[in-house]
Amino acid sequence: MSGIAGRIRLVTGDITTLDVQAVVTAANKGLRGGGGVDGAVHRAAGPELLHACRAVAPCPTGQSRLTPGLALAADWVIHTVGPIYRDGNSGEAELLASAYWTALALAVEHSIDGVAFPCISTGVYGYPADAACDIAIESVHRWVQTSNLPRVIIFCCFGDADFQRYESRLRQVGLLSEA
Ligand code: AR6
């Protein structure tokens, strides 16, 4: 499926299998690897990714760092640190928006044409899925209105519940139509 000007896309599955120039991983501040999508990205990229991470760590919450993709099909990994959800009144929304925004800014800085995002902060970090989905879509929507790059931005959902949540929200805001 594609959205306005074909720039916003929605897929379901393992982000490490996507043929896209950069994949975003939901990292921790130390860029030490971990579970969830970060574990999958580190496994697929290989142990050298941890060495590459050491060179650019730490990464404060809401910020992003770039490393090569190594054994991944993707050329690059953008390591983005989303907020740990506490009570919703601790700046989480701004930090989550910043996580998306700084990842996109890094992509532009390195002339990266296509980027795939997982649902940052919604696993171990406990961000409520509906609220996180709204912030993800709003951030990307604002971005495509002001920048021509990346040309393609993919939301990669891991499972049907997130896919349906994104599909319905993207349709509501007019960002998704049948390809
Ligand atoms: N492809 C795409 N999405 C995935 C994959 C995958 N292979 N695996 C999981 N997800 P999480 P967080 C989804 O916990 O909440 C790590 O230990 C998952 O279903 O990976 O930001 C880091 O090192 C969920 O929707 O990230 C940090 O310490 C989403 O990815 C911490 O977890 C995010 O879940 C970050 O926690």
Give me the average pLDDT of each 10-residue run along the chain (179 residues).
Answer: 72 97 98 97 98 98 98 98 97 98 98 98 98 98 94 97 97 78
Q: Are 98 and 62 in contact (CB under 8 A)?
A: yes
Per-state percent for the chain, helix, strand, coil, to nearest 5:
40, 20, 40
Distance in Å, CA 108 to ligand 1 centroid: 24
Question: Which atom number of ligand 1 is nearest to the Cα of residue 118?
Answer: 3
**Bridge partner residues of 10 (DSSP):** 155
Q: Are 79 and 117 in contact (CB under 8 A)?
A: no
Structure token digits, residue 105: 């800014």
B/e letters for 70-86, b = 16+ CB within 10 Å, e = fewer, are: bebebbbbbbbbbbbbe
Burial class (CB in 10 A: 0-12, 13-18, 19+), 138: middle
Distance in Å, CA 123 to ligand 1 centroid: 5
Structure token digits, residue 53: 């991470």
Q: Are 37 and 14 in contact (CB under 8 A)?
A: no
Longest CA pairwise span in the chain (Å):
42
Identify the pLDDT of residue 179.
Answer: 47
Identify the pLDDT of residue 5.
Answer: 53
Q: Are 50 and 33 in contact (CB under 8 A)?
A: yes
Mutate to test the pocket of ligand 1, among 124, 135, 157 (most ligand atoms within 8 A of CB): 124
User: What is d(CA 70, CA 72) in angstroms, rounded to the nearest whole number?
Assistant: 6
Mutate to test the pocket of ligand 1, among 37, 53, 78, 95 (most ligand atoms within 8 A of CB): 37
Structure token digits, residue 136: 């993800």
Structure token digits, residue 65: 């760092």
Verify whether residue 14 is a known catalytic residue.
no
Q: Which residues contact 145 (CB under 8 A, 6 or more apart)?
A: none
Distance in Å, CA 27 to ligand 1 centroid: 8
40 lines ligand 1 (CB under 6 A): yes
Q: Are 158 and 13 in contact (CB under 8 A)?
A: yes
H or E stretch at 23? strand 22-26
Identify the pLDDT of residue 39.
Answer: 98
Identify the pLDDT of residue 95.
Answer: 98
Identify the pLDDT of residue 110.
Answer: 98
